[in-house]
Structure 1
Amino acid sequence: MKSVVITGPGTTEVLEVEQPTAGPSDVLVKMKACGICGSDHMYTTYGGIPPRQGATPLGHEPAGEVVEVGSEVTGAKVGDHVVINVMATVDGLLGSGGAQGGFSDVIVLKDARAGVQFRVIPDEIPWEVAALNEPMAVARHATNRTGSKPGDKIVVFGAGPIGLGAVLGFKARGAGHVVVVDIVPNRLEKALLIGADAVINSADEDVFARLVELHGTAAPVVGVRGERPDSDVYLDAAGAPAVIATATSAAKQGATLGIVAVHKKPVEIDFGALLTTELTVVLSMGYPTEIFEVTDDIIANWRKCELIISDRIPFDRVQEALALAATPGAAEKVVVTFP
C-alpha cells in the first residue's frame, strides 16, 4: 500500500509499504480522509520526530471505514465509519512519531477498544468533516483549560481551525459573548458563520477600543491602571507575540489567558505590570479526555464544522496538499481524501 513518510529534513515521499494485517484483538481501517496539521510541516522541517529521525509516517487527523474486525473485538463491525484517538494507538502516536500514519491507504488499530482507540459515527457525516474530530478535540481541551463559565465574555485570537473550533467549544460551555480577532477577512467571515458574536480585524481596528465597545469596561480595581475591557477569557490560537502583548495589556483583574498556539520564539512578558491583575495563564496541549467528547457536537453541528475546511485534495495529490498547507496564507484547512 501507499504511505506518506518523512525521509529527511524537508522531504516527504509516498512509499510502497507492507499493508498491515489485523489480529484477533485488532481493527483494520481503510482511510477515507485525513486533515493536515501545522505540526506535519514542523515534523517534516525537522526531518522527523526523535527518535524516529528520517522515518516518520505522517497524518494524525484521520477518519476511515472499518474493513476487518478481529474476533475478540466488540463495538465495531465491517463497514462502520470511525474517528480515531491517535494518542491511544499502542504502537506510538499515529502520525506523530508512531509506527503508522493517517496518510496511508490502511491502518491497523491494535488492541482496539471502542471508546478508547476509536468511536463509530453515523454514515451521513462527510468523511472530511469526520477528520476534524482530532483538531476539534485540541480546541475543546483549550476551552476547557480556561475554565470559562456560562455567560463569560470571550476573546479568541486567531480564526484558523483551532480558533474556530474554540468558538464552538466556548459556545458549548455557555459563553455569553465570543469575539474573534484576526487579520484575514474571509476567516473572520467564517467565524461569524460558525457562531462568533462579533469579529475584529486587528489590521485596521483598535482591538482594545473595540473590546471596550463590545464587552464594556471592567470595574475599577486598586492597583490596575486605566480602563480595561470587561472580557473574562482570552485565548491565543494565533501564536503571534502581538497577541500576548494585546491580551496582557487589556486583561482586567481576575481574567484568564489561555495559550493553545505554538510560539516558535520566546515571548517577553512584564510580570511586574501584570501582578495586580492576578491574571491566570494556562497552557493547553493535546486532548487528555476530549477526543470523543467533541464527536457528538460534530455530529450535531457538522454543517458548521464543514465551513472550517478550505481545501479537499485527493490522496493521489497528497504532496500538492502538503505543500499548499505549508504555504502561509494559501489555505486554512486542507483535508486529504481517499477513494
Structure 2
Amino acid sequence: MNCMKAIAVLEKGVVRVVDDVPIPEIGEYGALCRNHACGVCSGTDMGIINGETTEKQGFLGFPTVLGHEGAGEVIRVGSKVRNIRIGDRFIHPNLWPDAGNGYTKTYGGMAQYGVVVDQQAMVEDGVCTPEQVPFYKKQHRFPAEIDWKDAALLLSLSECHSAAVNFGVQPGDRVLLYGAGPMGTALAMFMKLRGAAELTVIDSVPERLANSVRVAHTDRTINFAQQDTAAQIGDEKFDLVVDAVGKSTVLLEGAQYLRQGGKLCSLGVLRKGDTQIDLSQLPNNISLHMLNFPYGEYDIMDETIAYILQGKVNPKDFYSHVLPFEQIDEALALVRSHRALKVVLDFEDGNC
C-alpha cells in the first residue's frame, strides 16, 4: 500500500501531519491529482477541529482528513476516462469517504493526492445519472493562467459569488454586512459587482475593515469594539442585512436594522448547539434566508474565473500567508489569533 502525507484531525482539537493515509485508488473513471495548494477555512475547517461539525454537515468521524479548498493537477487517468487529460487542473481533488487506514475525509483536500472523476463519461456510459456521480458538483477545472496559490481561493470566492446571487442583491440595494474576514469581504465585493449601491461592514479588526474598503469598495465601516453599532446606524434601515460570521446572536442584532420587507441573510455556518433562533424576536414583515452551506458555487465558478481573468477580482486580496503544509500548527495559530486574513498551505515541496 502506497501512502501519502495529509493533515488530519485525530480527535477534537488535535491536528497532525500524518504519513499513513493511502494514496487513493482512482478506478476506471477516476483521475489521480497531485495537490499543489489548499486554503485553510476559518469556518468549516475550524469547526471540524473544534468538534462543532455534525454528520449532516459532512463530518464522518475522527480521525478525518481536512480541507475543501484544494487545487491539484491530474497525473494519472483511469482506463475509461476520456474527458480529462493529464495536466488538467482541478479545484478540490477529493478523497473517498473511507480514506483508508481508519481515516475518514472531511473534505479531504489537505493531502498530497486526491481524486477527480470523469463524470461525463460515467453518465454517457450509463453507469449512473448526473446526480449520482461521485463528487457531484464538487470538482471544477481551472485554467493555467491562475496560479496554484490563487486557485486555492477559487472555491471560497465562488461560494461568496453564489451567495450574492442567492441572496438576491439588486442594483441600488443598501446592505449591512457583519464580518470582514475573507468570506465577508468577498461577499461584499460580489454584492458591489452586482450593483449594491451602499455597503456598510461591521467587524472588530481594523486591518480587516481597511481591507474591506480597499478590496470591496465598502462605503462605511463600523468597528464594534470601539464604536457603538446602534449609535452609528441610528434610524437607518437596509434592504439586506447579512451575517458572514455564523452566530445566531448576529442575526438577531442585525434584524433590527432591516426595512419592512427586507431580507435577513445568513452566510456563516452556524455551529452545533447554535442552531435555533427565537423567531419571536425577529421584526415583523422580513424574510430570513439561511445559507448555512454554499449553494450553486460550482455552477457559478466559470463566471468567477472570468472576473479573475478580466482583472475585476484578485485572489491575492483574500489571503495573507502561504506556509508549507507541514507548518499546520503555525497556520492554525495565525487563523485563531486573526493575525492572518487567510492561510494557504503549500503542498508542492512535500510531494513525493
How would you bin the TM-score normalised by the shorter chain? 0.7 to 0.9
Selected match of 2:17 from 14, 19, 22 = 14
Matched, 1:313 2:334: no
Selected match of 1:137 from 158, 167, 176 = 158
Give the residue type in structure 2 aligned to 1:283.
M
In 1, the alpha carbon distance for the partners of 2:177 and 2:199 equals 7
In 1, the alpha carbon distance for the partners of 2:254 and 2:80 equals 52
In 2, the alpha carbon distance for the partners of 1:133 and 1:42 equals 21
* TM-score (normalizing by structure 1): 0.81
Matched, 1:70 2:84: no
Q: Deviations over 1:243-265 (max 9, x none)?
A: 33442222211111101123444
In 1, the alpha carbon distance for the partners of 2:158 and 2:267 equals 12
In 2, the alpha carbon distance for the partners of 1:151 and 1:13 equals 48
1:28 maps to 32
1:217 maps to none
1:171 maps to 192
Matched, 1:335 2:335: no
2:288 maps to 281
1:262 maps to 269
Selected match of 1:153 from 170, 174, 183 = 174
Q: What displacement does 1:321 show?
A: 1.7
In 2, the alpha carbon distance for the partners of 1:232 and 1:272 equals 19
In 2, the alpha carbon distance for the partners of 1:243 and 1:185 equals 19
Q: In the comparison of the two structures, how many residue pairs are matched? A: 317
In 2, the alpha carbon distance for the partners of 1:100 and 1:231 equals 36
- Contact 1:161 1:332 survives alignment (8 Å): yes
Q: Give the direction of change, closer, same or farther, for the CA distance of 1:52–1:252 in structure 2 (3 Å limit).
A: closer
Q: Give the direction of change, closer, same or farther, for the CA distance of 1:92–1:174 in structure 2 (3 Å limit).
A: farther
In 2, the alpha carbon distance for the partners of 1:85 and 1:30 equals 8
Q: Give the direction of change, closer, same or farther, for the CA distance of 1:157–1:296 in structure 2 (3 Å limit).
A: same
Give the residue type in structure 2 aligned to 1:170.
M
In 2, the alpha carbon distance for the partners of 1:33 and 1:161 equals 17
Q: What displacement does 1:73 show?
A: 2.5
- Correspondences of 1:177-326 after superposition (within 5 Å): 177-200=198-221, 201-208=223-230, 210-211=232-233, 228-240=235-247, 243-264=250-271, 265=274, 269=278, 271=280, 274-275=283-284, 278-301=285-308, 304-325=314-335
- Contact 1:6 1:13 survives alignment (8 Å): yes
Q: Which has the higher strand share?
A: 2
In 2, the alpha carbon distance for the partners of 1:166 and 1:84 equals 21
Give the residue type in structure 2 aligned to 1:180.
V
In 1, the alpha carbon distance for the partners of 2:26 and 2:247 equals 44
Give the residue type in structure 1 aligned to 2:201.
V
Q: What displacement does 1:49 show?
A: 6.1
Which ranges in structure 2 are unaligned for 5 or more consecutive residues?
122-135
State the identity as a percent: 28
2:124 maps to none
- Contact 1:85 1:134 survives alignment (8 Å): no
In 2, the alpha carbon distance for the partners of 1:109 and 1:40 equals 21
Which ranges in structure 1 are unaligned for 5 or more consecutive residues?
213-227
Selected match of 1:60 from 60, 68, 80 = 68
In 2, the alpha carbon distance for the partners of 1:153 and 1:74 equals 48
In 1, the alpha carbon distance for the partners of 2:332 and 2:119 equals 29
